[in-house]
Amino acid sequence: MLEPLVSALMVTRGSITNVENAINFFQKQTWTNKELCVVTANSDNEYLIRDRLDKADISFCFKKVSSDLSLGNLRNISMSIANGEYACTWDDDDFYGQDRLKVMMQGLLNNESAAAFLRRIILFDPARKKIALSSIRPWENTMVVRRSCAPIYPDLHSGEDTAFVNFLLKHHKIIGINAPGQYAYQKTFSNTVSESHFEALFKESSKVIQGADCKEYFLRLPCFRGWNESWC
């Protein structure tokens, strides 16, 4: 039986390092029927991004858009250029285990759900060499959804994904997947959420690893496999 096509939706500010990392994680996914849909408002790096996509052995869509659009509208554009029956969020500054799509799609299909989310994820603060196992909830940035059930993102610069998820929770059957090692949410200097919000996520976490134990924990997680280990 042919796997359904999954479109990974990536809105990027144009960091070539982030784009290359995101492509690398995408290439390694064990779910084979997939495409990467990239939207950017960065005109300076438009051709560099397209060059990286052309050189990668993947199916992709690419669109350059106006720089004055909100994040919600950028996500809507990424959804509109997708070809898949299913779509997932693919933020370019986060980390993905190679089975991220596979375990979520299998859970979604086996339970005949409209959407799937990871119940827990890994929180990652490279500057402070700190890793945490998050609290339990539907994590917006891990969304996989049947596109026919997907609402329109609101015209917001942040919080757009929360409104999207709340609609799905109210109107459709969703499933939570227990595979936290397949996704790491990275704290950077360019997160759309505030630093205080990210710190609150760490405080709510059930397990925080820092110091001497951090490297061992880091090396065990699928989402970091093959990434530069020098930080720890």
**In the predicted model, is pLDDT for residue 60 greater than 70?**
yes
Confidence at 229, pLDDT banded by 50, 70, 90: low
Tell me if 90 sits within 8 A of 60, measured CB to CB: no
pLDDT of residue 193: 55
* CATH of the structural domain 6-224, one choice from 3.90.550.10, 3.40.50.2000, 3.30.499.10, 3.90.1150.10: 3.90.550.10
H/E stretch holding 179 reads none
User: Which pLDDT value is given to residue 225?
Assistant: 86
pLDDT of residue 126: 84
How do residues 73-125 score in pLDDT, each as one tens digit? 999 999 999 999 999 999 999 999 999 999 999 999 999 999 999 999 999 98
Rounded to 10 deg, the angle between the 71-80 and 160-171 helix axes is 60
Tell whether the model's pLDDT for residue 49 goes beyond 70: yes
The tens digit of pLDDT for each residue in 184-201 reads 999 875 555 567 888 899
pLDDT at position 188: 72
Instruction: Kindly list the domain boundaries of the chain, sorted by start residue.
Output: 6-224
Starting at the edge strand found earlier in the chain, the sheet holding 130-133 runs: 95-96, 183-186, 122-125, 130-133, 207-210
The mean per-residue pLDDT over the stretch 51-74 comes to 95
